[in-house]
Amino acid sequence: MGIEQKLGNMGVVTTSLEQMVNWTRTSSMWPMLFGLACCAIEMMSAQAAHFDMSRFGMELMRASPRQSDLMIVAGRVTRKMAPVLRRLYDQMPDPKWVISMGDCASCGGVFNNYAIVQGVDEIVPVDVYVAGCPPRPEALIHGIITLHEKVRGEKMKQWA
Amino acid sequence: MFETTEVTLDELKHLVSERALKGETVLLNMGPQHPSTHGVLRLLLELDGEVIINIIPDVGFLHTGIEKNMESKTYEKAAVMTDRLDYLNTTGNVLAYCLAIERLAELDVPPRAQAVRVIICELQRIASHLVWLGTHALDLAAMSVFLYCFREREAILDILEMCSGQRMMTTFFRPGGLWRDVPPDFEIAVRRFIRMFPPRIDQYHALLTKNPIFMDRTRNIGKISAEAAVDWGLSGPPLRGSGVAIDLRKTQPYSGYEQYDFDIPTGTHGDVYDRYLVRMEEMRQSLRIIQQALDKLPIGPVRSNNRKYVPPPRSELGTSMEAVIHHFKLWTEGFILPKGSVYSPVESPRGELGVYLESNGGPKPHRVHWRTPSFIHLQALPVMSRGHLVADLVGIIGSVDIVLGDADR
Amino acid sequence: MSEEHLRNTVKAIKERFEVQEAEMKYPIALLIPADKIVEVCRTLRDEFGFNFLADLTASDYWPETEPRMHAIYNLYSHSENDRIALRVPLNGDSLSLPTIESIFKAANWQERELWDMFGIHIEGHSDLRRILMPEDWVGHPLRKDYPLGYEEPQFSFNYDDIDKRKHKATYKEA
């Protein structure tokens, strides 16, 4: 339209605040290094050169929860580890999202016994569940893209 | 809902030295979530400045209760859980379990199955050493090696996926042989890998072995003498790095290893650098074994014919009544092992992986115990790291090559 | 070479300590009472060259009480390339073993695991705490009278009932 063209010639773009903020949030979401068990190896494979996660903005994995946005719970969570997981989730600053990677984190997986928490959603609220034992790196990337779409669709009143 | 009960200093008084109680030394928690502990391992470090006085490891953050869970499943179903113990050496775990069952039941394994088992286990050994090398170098700040190692690993995982459909948790070995025969592309893919890999090992050597920073960070660090190593129960590359040449593939061979010709690399000083060299050389020797096994690969069936343990192929079900009965018994109740117990060790990339299998004459195992090398090696970590700096500790943990799924089961 | 050494070892231990052979398919096992185990281990290490403790575990035979459990020691000789196993029967009312930490240092954590998983008290151990379970856990999981603790699977007929009982964490609290 006329005014958009005029503004474009001057180098000005109009958009809504929601779209802007959501776009920036998805473009550089830094995951926290929370690999527990076998799924961690597939997460490392997804980070490595063949299935590159850096092209989605996740250049590095931060070990410190204070500097990360996304917690990928990769692996089985035992009852001994559960309080640690919750504490780390609480230490992450807003906005934060959780991907539950693998069967053990989503629902307890193969292990249905005294030692494993049956699904990490008993401890932290989960945004995206990725199934697989372990999920292929492509499946993890699909889960991350699903999360990006979810974040792109967030409304202002949902922001923490 | 989940409350933490802190273990106070009173309960650990007997473990820390006098100086800690007076406040002269610092107790630092290297917590379960740490980039360099290779998993969920918690270490309580007692530090005098930066020098380590003592380490108290705290394991159990990945304790999955696999041993108890296997007691409630039939033998064939329990094999699925074995992959997930030492998740870098998945086929080795299944091999140990199947060897234990075959020894207890006196089940014959056809030679083709044995040769394919050897090839896949040696490929898995190379894959495990690649992850070790990548993460060890990453901890010592050589990040490019990590990316190269995972590139090689993709080739091996493609071969595993071609055979079984799964990259990591394959459960390709079953009691009596293999799940099914390898596809015709298997040999081509493995030969391509054998041709492609030796120059890559030279690349890693060029990056790390004579690198002054790497040598400074790994020479004379984490020494353990041969007698202490045997006393603390070390096996595998940590033991061979201290000079003791014991390798279960040579001393107590299984699955046809006696037919193949390979060397056992040993170190002399027992430090981190020697263990690194031992594992690099082991990768080359694994290639030798794979080459020989592939050249001698016999033709034949891939699973035993003993219908008491192995289900019949579907083509037989249409013609033979006994096949139908065996099929029914095996898929509903599972096979029954004779009463008795057996301890069956194999050589995993970490050390001696042993399965103690006890059967009470039923379809489910009475007791399965996994003698895992990482659990035993973690005991020796305080001995190896007294007097070193915290920065060296990262290299020592990497050189012991622990996998927490292995340690905690 | 090793067959003879193993046979001699078994014969010597049987005569010296008056013990019998136990039933084990591989390796050969001897049934040792709990009070003699330290002496037998020491003899095997010093005189017969079994210098490597490969495995130390236990097996529960509940509901039998005599013996309730067997502790199994697996030894390996590097020089002679032999394996031998020692089985120690433990009765239900006296589940305790002396420590062999002074002979094989590798027994440290394995005995702690016996205490944690089976409740076998190890006398003389330097640091008997729980190792795999959390510090405040009650019970010894690998005993046969300890339940597996599994969660009921959700089928379509009981899906909503179990869903109501399931705990879902929120942003604010676990």
Domain of B82, CATH number, reads: 1.10.645.10
The confidence score (pLDDT) of residue B347 equals: 92
Mean pLDDT in residue range A115-138? 90
Residue B50 in this model has a pLDDT that exceeds 90 = no
Residues B384, B222 contacting (CB under 8 angstroms)? yes
Q: Per-residue pLDDT tens for B121-169?
A: 999 999 999 999 999 988 887 888 988 999 889 999 999 999 898 888 8
Residue with tokens 């940590």: B238
Given this model, what pLDDT does residue B13 score? 67
Q: Is residue C154 part of a domain?
A: yes
Contact criterion met (CB below 8 Å) for B207 and B378: no
Edge-first strand listing for the sheet containing B51-58: B26-30, B42-48, B51-58
Q: In which region does residue B256 sit, left (phi positive, over 0), alpha (psi from -120 to 50) or beta (all else)?
A: left
Q: What is the DSSP letter of A157?
A: G
How is residue A135 annotated by DSSP? P
Scanning the structure block, which residue is given the tokens 């699925």? B80
Residue B32 belongs to domain spanning: 9-58
Mean pLDDT value across residues B378-390:
89
Q: Where are the alpha helices (DSSP H) in B165-184?
A: none
Put simply, the answer to whether C148 touches A124 (Cβ < 8 Å) is no
Which of C133, C141, C168 lies at the smallest CB-CB distance from A121?
A: C168
DSSP secondary structure string for all residues of B240-280: HHTT----HHHHS--TTGGGS-------SS-SHHHHHHHHH
pLDDT above 70 as % of chain B: 94
pLDDT digits (tens, 9 = 90+) for B232-249: 989 989 999 998 888 999
Task: Judge whether B319 lies within some domain.
Answer: no
End-to-end CA distance of chain B: 25
Residue B200 covered by a domain: yes
Asked if the Cβ–Cβ distance from C25 to B67 is below 8 Å, we say no
Long-range contacts (CB closer than 8 Å, 24 or more residues apart) made by A8-17: A17/A156
- Cβ separation of B151 and A49 shorter than 8 Å? yes
For residues B189-207, one letter each, b for 16 or more C-beta atoms within 10 angstroms of the residue's C-beta and e for the rest, the string is bbeebeeebeebbeebeee
Overall number of domains in chain C? 1
pLDDT score, position C2: 59
Q: C57 in contact with B at a CB cutoff of 8 Å?
A: yes
Instruction: Cite the DSSP H helix spans in A72-112.
Output: 82-91, 103-107
C52-60 and C69-77 beta bridge pairing:
antiparallel
Structure tokens at B8: 């106070």
Structural domain contains residue B78: yes
Whether B277 and B145 share a structural domain: yes
Q: Which of A153-157, B347-351, C77-81 has the highest mean pLDDT?
A: B347-351
- C88 and C111 in contact (C-beta within 8 Å)? no
Tell me the H-state helices in B296-409. Answer: 314-317, 321-332, 373-379, 381-385, 390-400, 404-408
C51 contacts chain B (CB < 8 A): yes
Model confidence band, residue B1 (pLDDT cutoffs 50, 70, 90): very low
Domain-located, residue C103: yes
Q: Is residue B316 one of the residues assigned to a domain?
A: no
Range of the domain at C51: 3-165
Give the predicted TM-score (pTM) of the model: 0.92
B160-198 residue pLDDT tens: 999 898 888 888 999 988 988 899 999 999 999 999 999
Average pLDDT of the residues in B238-265: 90
Q: What is the spatial distance between Cα C56 and Cα C72, in angstroms, rounded to a whole number?
A: 6
User: For B17-26, how does the pLDDT look when each residue is reduced to its tens digit (9 = 90+)?
Assistant: 677 667 788 8
In-domain check, residue C95? yes
Residues A122, C148: C-beta atoms closer than 8 Å: no
- Residue C127: list chain B partners with CB under 8 A: 14-15
Question: Which residue numbers of A have CB closer than 8 Å to B's CBs?
Answer: 33-38, 40-42, 44-45, 48-50, 61, 63, 65, 75-76, 78, 80-84, 86-88, 110-116, 123, 133-134, 136
What is the total count of domains within chain B?
A: 2
Q: Nearest chain B residue to C103 by CA: give it.
A: B231
Specify the CATH number for the domain of residue C60: 3.30.460.80
In our burial notation (b when 16+ CB lie closer than 10 A, e otherwise), range A72-105 reads bbbbbbbbbbbbbbbebbeebeeebbbbbbbbbb
Asked if the structure places residue C149 within a domain, the reply is: yes
Q: What is the phi/psi pair of residue B26, to 5°?
A: -105, 140
Mean pLDDT of B262-273: 89
Task: For C91-125, write each residue's pLDDT tens digit.
Answer: 877 788 899 988 988 898 999 999 989 988 988 88
Integer angstrom CA distances of residue B15 from B37, B57, B344, C129:
21, 11, 35, 11
* B53 shares a domain with B154: no
Do residues B111 and B45 both lie within one domain?
no
Under 8 Å CB pairs connecting chains A and B tally to 100
Contact (CB, 8 A) for C133 and B63: yes
Query: Which residues does chain B have within 8 Å of residue C105's beta carbon, measured at their own beta carbons?
Result: 231-233, 379
Q: Do C81 and B376 touch (CB under 8 A)?
A: no
Query: Does residue C173 belong to any structural domain of this protein?
Result: no
* Distance (Å) from the alpha carbon of B249 to chain C's nearest alpha carbon: 12
The residue written with tokens 């403790």 in the block is: C53
Residue C172 lies in a domain: no
Any domain includes C78: yes
Query: How does residue C1 score in pLDDT terms, banded at 50, 70 and 90?
Result: very low
Q: Do C57 and B342 touch (CB under 8 A)?
A: no
For C:95-154, CB contacts with B below 8 A are 104-106, 108-110, 113, 126-127, 129-136, 141-142, 146, 148
Task: Dump pLDDT digits (tens) for C15-56.
Answer: 888 888 878 888 888 888 888 889 888 988 888 888 899 989
pLDDT band of residue B2 (cuts 50, 70, 90) is very low
Between CA B26 and CA B200 the distance in angstroms is 44
Distance CA C59, CA C79 (A): 29
Q: Are B204 and B280 in contact (CB under 8 A)?
A: yes
Exposed, middle or buried, C81 (CB in 10 Å: 0-12/13-18/19+)? middle
d(CA A62, CA A44): 13
In a domain, B22, yes or no: yes
Those of residues 84-123 in A touching chain C at CB distance below 8 A are 86, 108, 112-115, 118, 121-123
What mean pLDDT is reported for chain C? 86
Are residue B109 and residue B174 in the same domain, yes or no?
yes
In a domain, C54, yes or no: yes
Whole-angstrom distance, CA of residue C110 vs CA of residue C116 = 10
B41, B70: one domain = no
Question: Facing residues of B174 across strands?
Answer: B177
Report CA-CA distances (Å) from C63 to B13, C40, C147: 38, 29, 14
Q: What is the DSSP letter of A104?
A: H
Same structural domain, B93 and B122: yes
Based on the fold, state whether residues B53 and B141 are members of the same structural domain.
no
pLDDT bracket for residue B6 (50, 70, 90)? low
What are the start-end ranges of the H helices in chain A? 2-10, 17-27, 38-47, 82-91, 103-107, 137-152
Chain C residues touching residue A115 (CB < 8 angstroms) = 133, 141, 149
pLDDT over threshold 80, residue C174: no
User: Which residues in chain B (346-385) have CB-CB distances under 8 A to chain C?
Assistant: 352, 354, 356, 358, 366-367, 369, 371, 375-376, 378-379
What span, in angstroms and rounded, lies between the C-alpha atoms of A85 and A73?
9
Q: Report, in this order, helix, strand and coil percent for chain B, each rounded to 5.
A: 50, 10, 40
Q: What pLDDT is stored for residue B195 in this prediction?
A: 93
**Same domain membership, residue B130 and residue B35:** no
- Shared domain for B47 and B116, answered yes or no, is no
Q: Is position B108 within any domain?
A: yes
